[in-house]
């Protein structure tokens, strides 16, 4: 069987739109075009009903109530709304705790808060890319108002113990936010059982459309207050003004519905495929190194180093594979991967990480093709270095 190239192995950056999601979106892009805020006619009522159905699917996947979901343009906006929205409640700058493994969507808003006088503690990780929940607990002080921890890391794929961190936060009256863009729909997560106060994610990381996401905001007795960052028509209970992206929201709802139904099956497929891919590479290149703990790790996620080789050169050699060195958002920026540096790798080692992200539709043929090409490229580049 022939494999169509380039083979897409960059599912941390984005995922293809599931055709069932596209089907759900099409009528909304065509005849069901109403504005959900139009309360005086059927076009508006239909759109509002579609949005609420989607909201229920998102809530079911996260384990919360539909009225705890705020639709946004994606994880970046969700994280900004959570962090700035909490900070703006305080007149005097206070303290937040985060990790060295955060995506820019968390790190940049926190850096902005630092410029406004806030103190931010960035807790280091162990060499295996895992953050010790005790280190986060130890960083809390009387002035701490919020902890933000990435649930699953986008470059190295390691999964953090957010439940433990959330419970030590709630014991101290500190809010817990997680950037769960890589985690939602891929690994088990339940905002209520896990004690999460705020959680942001994007539809396009789980086979939904780009430009739409959600922020979970806990309501009820221990509800979270936020200051809106986008004001206007007062949509989304005043937390996020602007006409809703109805096609995107409907697509996100369908993507979440499918993820809830298929998550375990997808994870099983991804774990098997990643295991086989790694074994095939290790067979041809015995000194391959897996960056980050083998477990707990996102299914289908591998970050590999081949001693002596730079990832950038390897990627140039491997044009039949769509691969990256790390975060798509930062990959315009040359230099070593910030996440690998955070693991304690030196500059040279941190430039060697090859990120492989398999998807639910990646086939066995594609995975073995990728393994063979990677082995061949490593051997070729190494022999050139010798020659």
Ligand X SMILES: *Cc1c(COP(=O)(O)O)cnc(C)c1O
Q: Which residues in this chain contact ligand X in the complex, by CB under 6 A?
A: 74-76, 103, 105, 150, 154, 179, 181-182, 202, 204-205, 213
| DSSP states along 162-224 | HHHHHHHHHHTT-EEEEE-TTTTTTS---TTTTT-SEEEEEGGGGTS-SS-EEEEE--STTPP
CB atoms within 10 A of CB 242: 15
- Which is nearest to 96 in space by CA: 105, 109, 104, 379? 109
DSSP label at residue 260: H
**How many Å is the maximal CA-CA distance in the chain?**
76
C-alpha 96: how far from its chain's center?
Answer: 21
Question: Closer to ligand X at the Cβ: 274 or 378?
Answer: 274
* Cβ 47 to ligand X shortest distance, Å: 23
CB of 255 to ligand X, least distance (A): 13
169 counts as catalytic:
no
Cβ–Cβ < 8 Å for 278, 302: yes
Q: How far is the CB of 56 from ligand X (least distance, A)?
A: 22
- How many whole angstroms separate alpha carbon 274 and alpha carbon 289? 14
Catalytic position from the list 64, 125, 141, 329 = 329
Q: Select 154 or 325, whichever has its Cβ closest to ligand X.
A: 154
CB-CB contact of 321 with 9 (8 Å):
yes
Identify the bridge partners of residue 302 per DSSP, sorted by sequence position: 356
Smallest distance, ligand X to C-beta of residue 182, A? 5
How far is CA 237 from each of CA 57, 70, 88, 286, rounded to the nearest angstrom?
19, 8, 18, 56
35/73 with CB nearer ligand X: 73
φ and ψ of 25, to 5 deg: -80, -30
Alpha helices in 5-90 (DSSP H): 19-29, 42-62, 75-87
Task: Write out 8-27 in H/E/C secondary structure.
Answer: ECECCCCCCCCHHHHHHHHH
Q: Which is nearer to ligand X, 34 or 74 (CB)?
A: 74
Which residues does 57 contact at the CB level (< 8 Å), separation at least 6?
Answer: 253, 254, 256, 257, 260
Nearer to ligand X among residue 15 and residue 46 (C-beta): 15
Smallest gap from residue 204 Cβ to ligand X (A): 6
Report in angstroms the alpha-carbon separations of 54 from 49, 94, 176, 313.
Answer: 9, 36, 25, 43
The residue written with tokens 């500059």 in the block is 347
Given the complex with ligand X, which of 106 and 377 has the nearer CB atom?
A: 106
Q: Are 250 and 46 in contact, with CB atoms under 8 Å apart?
A: no
Shortest Å distance, C-beta 74 to ligand X:
3
Find the shortest distance in angstroms from Cβ 180 to ligand X: 8
Q: Which is nearer to ligand X, 99 or 182 (CB)?
A: 182
Q: Which is nearer to ligand X, 179 or 310 (CB)?
A: 179
Catalytic residues: 329
């Amino acid at each position: 069987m022939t494999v169509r190239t380039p083979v897409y192995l960059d599912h941390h950056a984005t995922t293809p739109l599931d055709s069932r999601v596209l089907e759900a979106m099409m009528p909304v892009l065509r005849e069901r075009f109403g504005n959900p805020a139009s309360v005086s006619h059927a076009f508006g009522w239909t759109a509002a009903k579609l949005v609420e159905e989607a909201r229920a699917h998102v809530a079911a996947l996260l384990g919360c109530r539909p009225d705890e979901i705020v639709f946004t343009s994606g994880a970046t906006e969700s994280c900004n709304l959570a962090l700035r929205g909490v900070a703006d409640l305080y007149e005097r700058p206070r303290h937040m705790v985060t990790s060295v493994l955060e995506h820019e969507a968390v790190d940049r808003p926190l850096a902005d808060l630092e410029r406004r006088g806030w103190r931010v503690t960035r807790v280091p990780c162990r060499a295996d890319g895992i953050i010790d929940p005790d280190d986060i607990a130890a960083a809390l002080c009387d002035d701490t108002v919020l902890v933000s921890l990435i649930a699953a890391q986008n470059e190295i794929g390691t999964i953090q113990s957010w439940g433990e961190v959330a419970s030590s936060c709630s014991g101290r009256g500190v809010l817990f936010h997680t950037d769960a863009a890589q985690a939602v729909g891929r690994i088990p997560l339940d905002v209520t059982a896990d004690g999460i106060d705020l959680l942001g994610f994007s539809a396009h990381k789980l086979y939904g459309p780009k430009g739409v996401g959600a922020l979970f905001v806990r309501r009820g007795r221990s509800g979270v207050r936020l200051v809106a960052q986008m004001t206007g028509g007062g949509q989304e209970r005043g937390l996020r003004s602007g006409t809703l992206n109805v096609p995107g929201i409907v697509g996100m709802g369908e993507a979440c519905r499918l993820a809830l139904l298929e998550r375990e099956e997808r994870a099983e497929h991804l774990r098997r495929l990643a295991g086989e891919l790694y074994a095939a590479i290790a067979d041809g290149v015995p000194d391959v190194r897996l960056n980050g703990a083998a477990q707990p790790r996102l299914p289908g996620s591998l970050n590999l180093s081949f001693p002596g080789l730079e990832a950038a050169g390897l990627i140039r050699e491997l044009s039949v594979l769509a691969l990256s060195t790390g975060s798509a958002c930062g990959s315009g920026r040359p230099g070593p991967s910030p996440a690998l540096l955070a693991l304690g790798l030196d500059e040279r080692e941190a430039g060697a990480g090859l990120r492989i992200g398999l998807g639910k539709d990646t086939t066995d043929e594609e995975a073995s093709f990728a393994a063979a090409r990677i082995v061949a490229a490593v051997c070729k580049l190494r022999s050139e270095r010798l020659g």
